[in-house]
Structure 1
Amino acid sequence: MQKIAIITDSGSDLSSDLLKEHNIFSLPFRIIYSDNEYEDGVSITPYELYDSLEKEIPTTSLPCMKKIESILTNLEEEGYTHVIAIHISSALSGTSNSVRLALEDHPNLTSYVYDSKTLSMAQGSIVLSASKLVKEGKTFEEIISLLPTYRKSVHTYFTLNTLEYLKKGGRIGRVAGTIGELLNLKPIVFVGDDGIYQTYAKARGRKQSINKLKEIVEGYLSKNKCNIWIIEGNAIEESNAILNALKTNENINEISTATVGPALGVHTGPGLLGFIIEEL
């Protein structure tokens, strides 16, 4: 009899309530300041992070190896036989590799580490889908075979107030923009199939960039039913306005807002606004 555990990391932006409801085990990234260290979403909130950025831009680090080891040991003690670990894009973090290495010391756990090649609620939606399959009694082999299908169905688009934080954090990917910033051009960024940030389009100013995001979402909704997450980083009023404008669309299956966690917020800064689109 298989007893399957689903593991992810805090880059999935799944709330503590969702983690608990779906019995998902999450590894928090570390937020490191000159005088202190915090666990992403555990001992520091997104808004505490944004409030601190003017004083100091912290660095981020992989989940603590002791934490990974502790979770794996506890899973064995609780009788789990299989582990499916679904992690943030390996182009942005080495978490997948760290977990893969840790699992080598736990041969009693049959495991599979999946590089989601995405982040935030796009990663979170894959994790939730996998956890639902566990509840439905699907086998380990069935679940891992479906993960690429779930990845193909999710799309991530967002805009930023500034590229400063992506540049400082070394996460700029294929997003270009120094000259564009001088012209107040705001990039619409998407996460490619390779898990790297890329420029999808540019818009003049904040209002136009948000309108472009809406056009992108409406394009998907004109073709398919979708689940939509509006992701925001210290832009809750704008995200609520978009929620109210879109929620009556008949092709939306579910729609909600989600706050980008501290570890991702370090690299995007305040003002991120975007969409995770899951085609059904």
Structure 2
Amino acid sequence: MDKIALLTDSASDICTEDLNKYNINLLPFKIIFSDKEYDDKLEITSDVLYELLPREIPKTSLPSIERLNNILNRLADEGYTHAIIVTISNEFSGTYNSMRLACEDFDRLKTHVFNSKSLSMAEGVVVLEAAKLIEEGKSFEEIVRLLPDLRSKIDIFFTIDTLEYLRKGGRIGRVAGTIGDVLNLKPVITIDENGSFRTYCKARGKKQSTSKLLKIAKSYTENNKCKFWVMDGNALDDAQTLCENIKNLNNVVDCKLGYSIGPALGVHTGPGLFGFIVEKVD
């Protein structure tokens, strides 16, 4: 019988409680300041990052391949036969390619590295759904086959206060050139089928951004039952307002608040982000 391990990078923004509950192995990004380095989520919190950002925007680096190999060897020693690794979109990071190449040379476990083509809890939900499939006793081949379908049912929408951090981090992609800062125009950003950012629509000010996010959420629930995860990056009040409004929509199976953007992503989005992940459910 397959004994399947599950790994993900820290950009998935899965909370510690769920990591422990489902025995998910975390591969942290590095947060690199001029005077100190941190393992994302393990050695630095989002609150600390936002305190430090006005002084210095740190760099980030990929999860350690040495750490990956150490985890895989430990899992093999513990009797695991297979490992599934879910990563951030390859459009935002080299993590997928580096993990895939590393696993090609690892022969103690049969591995599958899956590109979520997303980030934050849109990536995290794929991981959690895979964890539930493992709990149900699905085989490695069955789960690998189901992952693309899981990914196709999950979308992400969010707004941010400023594009400054995306610009400086080189992550702006197709969002570039769409915002007039002087006019207080803010983007509602999503991720396309290729795993890149794109502007879904624009709003003038925070109140209109919230209204447009709610309208998008409602469009999903008109013909589908849906689960929602409301996220924020140092914008909890806005996230709470959005969550309460989504809960009042029809066909909302669940709406959870409290999924903070982790330090590795917060470096590139800055404070003032809020939005949601939505999953269509059968």
Band of TM-score, shorter chain: over 0.9
1:96 maps to amino acid: Y
Q: Does 1:54 align with 2:39?
A: no
Match of 2:256 in 1: 256
Cα drift, residue 181 of structure 1: 1.6
SS at match of 1:237: helix
RMSD: 1.1
Q: Does 1:101 align with 2:101?
A: yes
Match of 1:25 in 2: 25
Q: Does 1:182 align with 2:189?
A: no
User: Structure 2: which 5+ residue stretches go unaligned?
Assistant: none
SS at match of 2:96: helix
1:163–1:177 Cα contact (<8 Å) kept:
no
Further displaced range: 191-200 or 105-114: 105-114
Q: Does 1:276 align with 2:262?
A: no
Cα drift, residue 250 of structure 1: 3.7
Per-residue CA shift, 1:39-67, capped at 9, x if unaligned? 11110001110111100000111012221
Q: Does 1:148 align with 2:144?
A: no
Further displaced range: 72-81 or 27-36: 72-81
Q: Structure 2 length normalisation: TM-score?
A: 0.97
Match of 2:63 in 1: 63
Match of 1:132 in 2: 132
Per-residue CA shift, 1:178-214, capped at 9, x if unaligned? 7512221101110001000001111111111111111
User: Structure 1: which 5+ residue stretches go unaligned?
Assistant: none
1:261 maps to amino acid: G
Per-residue CA shift, 1:205-249, capped at 9, x if unaligned? 111111111110011111111110111000011111222222233
88 and 179 in structure 1: CA distance in 2 versus 1, 3 angstrom threshold: closer
1:273 maps to amino acid: F
2:179–2:186 Cα contact (<8 Å) kept:
no
- Rounded Cα–Cα distance in structure 2 between residues aligned with 1:260 and 1:182: 26
- Rounded Cα–Cα distance in structure 2 between residues aligned with 1:16 and 1:83: 20
Match of 2:90 in 1: 90
Cα drift, residue 101 of structure 1: 2.0
Cα drift, residue 73 of structure 1: 1.1
- Rounded Cα–Cα distance in structure 2 between residues aligned with 1:2 and 1:240: 41
1:57 maps to amino acid: I
- Rounded Cα–Cα distance in structure 2 between residues aligned with 1:98 and 1:77: 23
SS at match of 2:44: coil
Cα drift, residue 117 of structure 1: 0.3
Match of 1:266 in 2: 267
- Rounded Cα–Cα distance in structure 2 between residues aligned with 1:143 and 1:277: 21
179 and 17 in structure 1: CA distance in 2 versus 1, 3 angstrom threshold: closer
Identity over aligned pairs, percent: 51
SS at match of 1:215: helix
- Rounded Cα–Cα distance in structure 1 between residues aligned with 2:105 and 2:80: 15
- Rounded Cα–Cα distance in structure 2 between residues aligned with 1:248 and 1:98: 43
